[in-house]
Structure 1
Amino acid sequence: MGIIAALIIGGIAGWLAGKIVHGAGFGLIGNIVIGIIGALLAGWILPQLGVNLGVGWVREIINATIGAVIILVILSLIKR
């Protein structure tokens, strides 16, 4: 995946995760970083669990959002 596509998917996933986990957003750049890290996390965890969601860009955004939500929940627990 190209760097531009990773930034777009990361941005969308980070924004969605920030909306899902209220009060845990980190701004535009932070959300992109969380989305990219979430995509890496979900890309590793979901295949291990046998989960296959969607195809193409949709799959990437869903996976990245799931990973970003996991990261945001963990970070919000650590903050408390």
Structure 2
Amino acid sequence: MFWFLLIGLVSGWLAGMISRGGGFGLWGDLATGVVGSFIGAYVFNLIGLSAYGTIGSIISSTVGALILLWVIRMFNVAPAAAKKK
């Protein structure tokens, strides 16, 4: 359980750094990484890839978190003025 949360935290932080240049805070990174790990495992299974070990889990979770952030941003319809703040 501890490793799962630690990998979720690291992958959420990585996804935040890649997608917008900064993390989302401790709880935001953790939530993004944990949900991303499920999405990443599903997507990797669909395309026939397997992630082994800690590094493979971090890569899979990060890919899933990036997909999650992309989907969230697709449905974000905030006005342009609100995005600059």
Q: Structure 1 length normalisation: TM-score?
A: 0.85
1:25 CA drift (Å): 4.6
RMSD between aligned residues? 1.6
User: What is the number of residues matched between the two proteins?
Assistant: 77
62-71 or 15-24, larger mean C-alpha shift: 15-24
Matched, 1:77 2:74: yes
Structure 1 residue 11, shift from structure 2 partner: 0.4
State the shift of 1:59 in Å: 0.5
The residue type equivalent to 1:75 in the other structure is I
Moved over 6 A (4+): none
Larger Rg: 2
> Structure 2 length normalisation: TM-score?
0.80
Any gaps of 5 or more consecutive residues in structure 1? none
Residue in structure 1 matching 2:60, options 47, 60, 63? 63
Q: Structure 2 stretches of 5 or more lacking a match?
A: 78-85
